[in-house]
Structure formats: C-alpha cells, structure tokens
Chain A
Amino acid sequence: MDNLLVAENIVKNFGEFRALNNVSIEVPKGSIFGLLGPNGAGKTTLIRIINQIAMPDEGLVILDGENLKPEHIRDIGYLPEERGLYKTMKVGEQALYLAQLKGLSKAEAKKQLKYWFDKFEIGDWWNKKIQELSKGMAQKIQFIVTVLHKPKLLIFDEPFSGFDPINANMIKDEILQLRDEGATVIFSTHRMESVEELCDNIALIHESNKILDGKLLDIKREYKSNTFEIGLLTDHKAEVIQNLKEKFQVTDATFKTINDELKFNIKIENGASPNQLISHLTSKGELTHFVEVIPSVNDIFIQTVQNN
C-alpha cells in the first residue's frame, strides 16, 4: 500500500529521558490514522518531529517518498493541542498572516479564506479581534487556518476540544470531506468513540514505545474473543442457565431490553460456528438477542496499556 508518511525507528531523548524509543508508524495515503496513547506517552513529541518542530535523535521520517525537509512544512497542516491565536489581532489579518506563513500568496490566501468563511457562515467576523470571540468561535478560526493551504497531511491533536456537539459534528464532517478529497489525516485524541468512528488505522504508544498498530478492523478481529451476548425468553431460567453452564463458558451480562429475558455471555471455541449455539439456544426458549461482542477501541486501549 502507498504510504504518505513513514516514520522509521524514531528515537528522541530529552536529557536522560527517552521520549520515543524506536517508534515506527506507517500512514497510508488517503486514510485517517489514529495516534493513541495515555498522557505523556510521547504522541506530541512524535507529532512535533513530523512537523519539524523537534528533530529526532535517530530515525527517519519520509513524507510522500522524500526525506522530511523544510519545504515540506507547507504540505502539512497542524492543529496542536496547545493552540491559540493572537488575542489582539483581528481575525482576518491573523488568518491572512498565518496562511502566508504557510506559503500562500496574499491573493490566494484571501480567496481561500473567503471560501471557508462563507462555508462556516462567519464572514462578519473578519474585523473582530480574537479576544471578542468565544472559545468555540476561536477554534473554528483555528481549524480554518490549519486546513486553508490544502496540505497533503493534516495533523489534528484533540480537534474537538472546545466545541459543542453540533460544531464538533460539523468539524468531523469537514475532516471526512477533506479525507475524501485526498488528504491524509493523523488524528490524536483521547475520545475513543471518535477514533471508532473515524479511524482506518491506529497506533498505540505507551511509555515511549509503540505497543500496537495496524488496521482498526484487523486489530478488532485479533482482540475479539468469540463471545456472544445473548437474551433468551424462558419460563425456566434457573434450569436453562444450569444446563448451558455445563456445555459452554457462560458469564453474566447486562444490557437493556424491553422483556424480562435471561441475559448472559457465551464464549465459544475459536473457529466454531455460532450457528450450532443458536440452534441449541432456540431449543431452550425464544431467542430475542444475539450479538457478537466486538471489543471497543476503549477496551483495546485499556487492555493493551494495562498488559504492558
């Protein structure tokens, strides 16, 4: 597969402290890549290395087939977690300035800004100062200046913080649209439900080491335990559960239903077909609920970090 960004064996030390230890990632072109990890794991350091804010002590970063070089700055759009704008500068001036720093000409920057300001319906903010805007409003400006120069690679660090659900949804749609238009996105967040929703690939960094990476679906397949969540309507609850426990690995389960079912999880052998289980269950009562338990990113995250 064609990778837009490859980082190979990145090592970064801060004095005695090793912030990144031989970390490698591969980000396929046109995908959304989730960079996950607990606080202080080294995610921001890796992102800063990709942005050439920090230099790696060892290792190599390749962007679109070339070794990372200063000119690549304009191919990257970065929304840092610690972000802000000049408080006393006017919105328009500021956006123009930041766009020009990214290498756009003034005319081009104006054109792009008009497009985005119209799109977000914020044209009348142009002459306001940032300090007059609310946090959410300022975040929108920040998002615009990040994507304005149409970079190949977009790096978002906690992009949804500071947004209400409506605006967060709007930003999410924008990210997906940018992806569809060909941009590659690296996405770092602690909000696992958005990783679930958006990411094609993930990498998990813990205590300076990468401990997990790959396609999200592959990882989920790997982490699933052939467990099914079952709801069964029967008049003889005790008898049925006793019977099942003799044949299968049964654990308790809680989920919401409208009837008074018997609720439990059953784990079957690797490779065994769930059909057998289903026919066995239907003989015991009325099957109302049968779902394979797929591990959430949240579960995978917690499980992997705790095991390391």
Chain B
Amino acid sequence: MNHLGLITKREFLNKVKNKSFILMTFLSPLIMVGVITLVVYLTQLNNDKVHTISVLDESELFANEFVDTESTKYDRLESIDLETAKKLVQETGNYGLLYIPKGDNIDAIADKIKFFSEESPSLMVMDRIEDKIEEKARNIKLKNSGLDPVAVNKLKVKINANLETFEGEKTSKEGSLLKLAAGGIAGYLLFMFIIIYGNMIMRSVIEEKTSRIIEVIISSVKPTQLLLGKIFGTTLAGITQFLTWVIVGGLLFVIVSAVFGIDIAGAQMEQQQEVLNQVANNPAAQDGFNVLLQEFLNLPIANLIVMFIFFFIGGYLLYASLYAAIGAAVDNETDTQQFMLPIIMPLMLAIYVGFFTVIENPHGTVSQVFSYIPFTSPVVMLMRIPFGVPIWQQLISLVLLFGTFFVTVLLAAKIYRVGILMYGKKPSYKELAKWLKY
C-alpha cells in the first residue's frame, strides 16, 4: 500500500507542477476578477452620465412630477411650439424631448405622448418616465371619478404570505430562492468539477498508454493500485486548485476594491444604504429583511459544506473511475467521444432534475428518487439539502454512492487492466464487456 502513496504523490505533483495547470490556477481568478471589475466599472461609467431631458408639457398637468434626480435632470420648456422645441433640444444636445400635448381628457393625452431623441432611449429611462406619467394620470382619473387617491392607496393590500415550518421557523419566498441558489451553486460546481477533473484523469491514463510506460509501471504495481493512485492524486490536485481559486480570488477582490474599487464598495454601500433606508421607513419591510437575514443564517450551511465535501469525493471518485476506464480503452483522445455520452447523460440529467424538479418540489418523489441514484445523487442531493433533508436520507444516499463507487472501480479496474495493454484498435462496447471476463 506504500505504492499507493507514491503513485498518488507523483500524480499530484505532476499535475500541480504542470505549467498550464499553474497558469490556469492563478490566471482564472485574475480573469474572473478582471471581468467583474470591468463590468462594474463600465456600468458605473454608463450611469455616471447625467441625462438632461427637456419636457414640453402643453397639458400643464404634469408640472410637479418631473423632479431632478442624480442621473436625470429635467428641463422644462414653456410657451414654445413643438417644432421649435425639437430644434432647441437638438442644438443643446440634450438626451431627449418629452412631449405631452393638450387634450380634452387624460386618455386622449396619454395616447399622444411622444418622446423624441437622437438615438433610441434606454429602457430604464423610459420606464421611469412612463411610471411617473402613469401614476399621475391614474390619480387624475381617480379624482375625476370622485375618489381620493390617498384613500385608494390605503386600500391596496400587499400580500406576502409569511411562511413558517411546523417547527415554527419562519421562512419566506426570498428564503426559498436563497436555498435554491445555494443548492444550485453547490450542485453545479460539483458537476463542473467532475467533468473537468474526470477529463484530466482520462488524459493522464491515455498519456501513460501512448508513452508506453504503462507496462513498466504495472510490472511493479497492481493496475488497481495505479488506478486508485491516479484518481486520488488528481482529486488532490483538483481540491488544491479549487482552494487556490477561492483564496486568490478572495484576496484579489479585496485588493481590487481597495485600489481601484472604492467605487465598487461605494456602489455597494449606497445600495445597502438605500435598502437600509427603505427598511427603516417601513416596519413591514424591516421584518422581511430580518427574516431574510435569519434565513441565510438558518440555511444548513454546515450541513451543506460537509455534504458538499462528501458528495464531491463520492461522486468524483465514481465518475473518475469511469473516465479512467475510458482512457484505458482507447489510444487517443479523439476516440473517447463514443464513450463520453453515457457519462455525460446522467450528469446532465442530474442538473436538469435539479433545476426543474427540485425547484418545483424539493421533497417530491422524483427529487427523492434521483437523490438516491448514485449517478445523480451528488448533484441532486446537494440541491435538496438547503431545503432541509433528514440526515438519515443523506446518509443512505452517501452509502449507496460509495457502495456503487466500490463496485464501479472494480469493474473499471478490469477494463483498465486489459485496456492499458491493448493498442491499435478502438474497442466496441461488446468488447469492453468481454474484457470484464478476462
């Protein structure tokens, strides 16, 4: 068993010392942070520009509605006709001209409201303007019908069902969304890892075959040991890369926001401030906010992290042994295509079941069944866990997963043992089945 350690160490070091691996490990977070910074920067650049919109209100009904804000200024034009106003706006280079004509009643006016501009205006700007006019128009119509707009507003009922579990924990729809996000990210991450590192193992098996070192090695160690060593070594390399990403990415974010990103932090602060203000002004919202915060803290985070590690190891080992068997069966990477489908299918299925069925009903029959099937359980169970899965269910799923791994790795080892010494022909599934009997 000492050999297993040696092989694992070599596989790990070989991966980690690889130039492209190092490059990917340190470059990926850089690129990620770079892209995000760029996006944030560009968005701010966009928002920084103050639009000035000229308003020609012939109806004189909306006089008080257009109040300047930080990003939009309103310039009221008075006692000129539309054509003059258009020319004027073009000359001054203002963003656009809002034209509200005279009319007998609100509906007639509303139909004829126009917005002139050089380029088509941004949706956000138009939304804001339309909202303002709509609200005012509604209020005018309410008044015309003899109703008090303030009284009508009071009649509005906002429904936000307060969810509560039987145990008395408060939850909310937003909380469900949070759970979904947490589970979804965990499940998707696992899916990506399995594919990326599974391929890595496959390539490493093919490399040993094409460099013909394989027979030298297996005259010293059992093929099964070599297989396990490869799987463990690559797993460690994967975990190393992942942790590096998390750490480097985190550090970079801190650095970037400290150096250039006062704006990023500022923007976030502003948003937070806004939210806090809203919350402060509205006792009901405050309650909702607290619930959400509570929700986040109530997420079975510890459970999720622990299970992420276990399901990652189990699911990864299961798929890695399949990838290794494929690598052993073929001579080069192009021949792997025909065998990839049966591996990708259950993974895709797991992702789809996760994103459609688990959202619909996290504890429904389909969700439950797929969270037990070993080939889909790592992804599906991780998506279910934030919604609260009894620990015994998680354990059964884990036992099934690891049990299947042991069976699969035995079968994979058989294919591997025969495959690594076979050159020249691309085997069919029938032949692979025959190899199991050798």
Residues of A within 8 A of B (CB): 14-15, 48, 51-53, 70, 73, 76, 78, 80, 82-89, 97-98, 100-102, 142, 145
Q: Is the CB of A82 within 8 A of B212?
A: yes
User: Does any Cβ of A come within 8 Å of B6's Cβ?
Assistant: yes
Q: Is the CB of A86 within 8 A of B220?
A: no
Q: How far is the CB of B224 from chain A (nearest CB, A)?
A: 12
User: Does any Cβ of A come within 8 Å of B170's Cβ?
Assistant: no
| Partner of A98 from B211, B212, B216, B423 at Cβ < 8 Å | B216
Contacts of A98 in B (CB 8 A): 216-217, 220
The CA-CA distance from A163 to B437 in the complex, in Å, is: 39
Q: Is the CB of B215 within 8 A of A102?
A: no
Q: Which residue of A lies closest to B437 (CB)?
A: A15
| Cross-chain pairs A/B with CB under 8 angstroms, 14 sampled | A14-B438, A53-B219, A73-B219, A73-B220, A82-B212, A84-B216, A85-B216, A86-B207, A88-B18, A97-B6, A98-B216, A98-B220, A101-B6, A142-B216
User: Does any Cβ of A come within 8 Å of B257's Cβ?
Assistant: no
Contacts of B51 in A (CB 8 A): none
A83-B220 contact in complex given A100-B6, A101-B3, C-beta closer than 8 Å: no
Interface residues of B in 198-252 (CB under 8 A from A): 207-208, 211-213, 215-222
Q: Which residue of A lies closest to B218 (CB)?
A: A53
The CA-CA distance from A203 to B437 in the complex, in Å, is: 30
The CA-CA distance from A308 to B410 in the complex, in Å, is: 42
Q: Is the CB of A78 within 8 A of B434?
A: no
Q: How far is the CB of A143 from chain B (nearest CB, A)?
A: 11
Q: How far is the CB of B331 from chain A (nearest CB, A)?
A: 12
The CA-CA distance from A124 to B407 in the complex, in Å, is: 47
| Partner of A97 from B10, B18, B208, B219 at Cβ < 8 Å | B10
Contacts of A15 in B (CB 8 A): 434, 437-438
| Partner of B213 from A48, A78, A85, A100 at Cβ < 8 Å | A85
**5 nearest interchain CB pairs?**
A84-B212, A80-B215, A101-B220, A84-B211, A78-B219
- Beyond A48-B421, A97-B6: 5 further Cβ-contacts under 8 Å? A70-B222, A78-B215, A82-B212, A84-B212, A84-B213
Q: Is the CB of A86 within 8 A of B423?
A: no
| Partner of B212 from A52, A83, A101 at Cβ < 8 Å | A83
Contacts of A84 in B (CB 8 A): 211-213, 216
User: Does any Cβ of A come within 8 Å of B332's Cβ?
Assistant: no
A86-B3 contact in complex given A53-B219, A101-B221, A102-B220, C-beta closer than 8 Å: no
| Partner of A80 from B7, B207, B219 at Cβ < 8 Å | B219
Q: How far is the CB of A95 from chain B (nearest CB, A)?
A: 11
The CA-CA distance from A83 to B207 in the complex, in Å, is: 13
Contacts of B3 in A (CB 8 A): 101
Q: How far is the CB of A180 from chain B (nearest CB, A)?
A: 24
Q: Which residue of B lies closest to A100 (CB)?
A: B6
The CA-CA distance from A285 to B36 in the complex, in Å, is: 104
Q: Is the CB of A51 within 8 A of B219?
A: yes
User: Does any Cβ of A come within 8 Å of B286's Cβ?
Assistant: no
User: Does any Cβ of A come within 8 Å of B14's Cβ?
Assistant: yes
Q: Which residue of A lies closest to B423 (CB)?
A: A82
Contacts of B217 in A (CB 8 A): 98, 101
Contacts of A76 in B (CB 8 A): 219
Q: How far is the CB of B334 from chain A (nearest CB, A)?
A: 19
Q: Is the CB of A82 within 8 A of B215?
A: yes
Contacts of A14 in B (CB 8 A): 438
Contacts of B7 in A (CB 8 A): 101
Q: How far is the CB of A50 from chain B (nearest CB, A)?
A: 10
Contacts of B222 in A (CB 8 A): 70
- Which of A15, A89, A101, A145 has most chain B Cβ within 10 Å? A101
The CA-CA distance from A101 to B214 in the complex, in Å, is: 13
Contacts of B438 in A (CB 8 A): 14-15
Q: Is the CB of B14 within 8 A of A89?
A: yes
Contacts of B6 in A (CB 8 A): 97, 100-101
The CA-CA distance from A89 to B219 in the complex, in Å, is: 20
Q: How far is the CB of A47 from chain B (nearest CB, A)?
A: 9
A86-B211 contact in complex given A14-B438, A97-B6, A101-B3, C-beta closer than 8 Å: yes
Q: Is the CB of A53 within 8 A of B220?
A: no
The CA-CA distance from A70 to B220 in the complex, in Å, is: 9
Q: Which residue of B lies closest to A97 (CB)?
A: B10
Q: Is the CB of A53 within 8 A of B213?
A: no
Q: How far is the CB of B102 from chain A (nearest CB, A)?
A: 81
Q: How far is the CB of A141 from chain B (nearest CB, A)?
A: 11
Interface residues of B in 62-76 (CB under 8 A from A): none
The CA-CA distance from A84 to B216 in the complex, in Å, is: 8
Interface mask (B176-188 → A, CB under 8 Å = 1, otherwise 0)? 0000000000000
- Which of B220, B421, B423 has most chain A Cβ within 10 Å? B220
Q: How far is the CB of A75 from chain B (nearest CB, A)?
A: 12
The CA-CA distance from A294 to B313 in the complex, in Å, is: 67
Contacts of A52 in B (CB 8 A): 219
Q: Is the CB of A86 within 8 A of B219?
A: no
Interface residues of B in 11-25 (CB under 8 A from A): 14, 18
Q: Is the CB of A85 within 8 A of B220?
A: no
Q: Is the CB of A86 within 8 A of B434?
A: no
Contacts of A48 in B (CB 8 A): 421
Contacts of B219 in A (CB 8 A): 51-53, 73, 76, 78, 80
Q: How far is the CB of A15 from chain B (nearest CB, A)?
A: 6
Q: How far is the CB of B212 from chain A (nearest CB, A)?
A: 3
Q: Which residue of A lies closest to B420 (CB)?
A: A53
Q: How far is the CB of B264 from chain A (nearest CB, A)?
A: 41
Q: Is the CB of A53 within 8 A of B211?
A: no
Contacts of A102 in B (CB 8 A): 220
Contacts of B18 in A (CB 8 A): 88
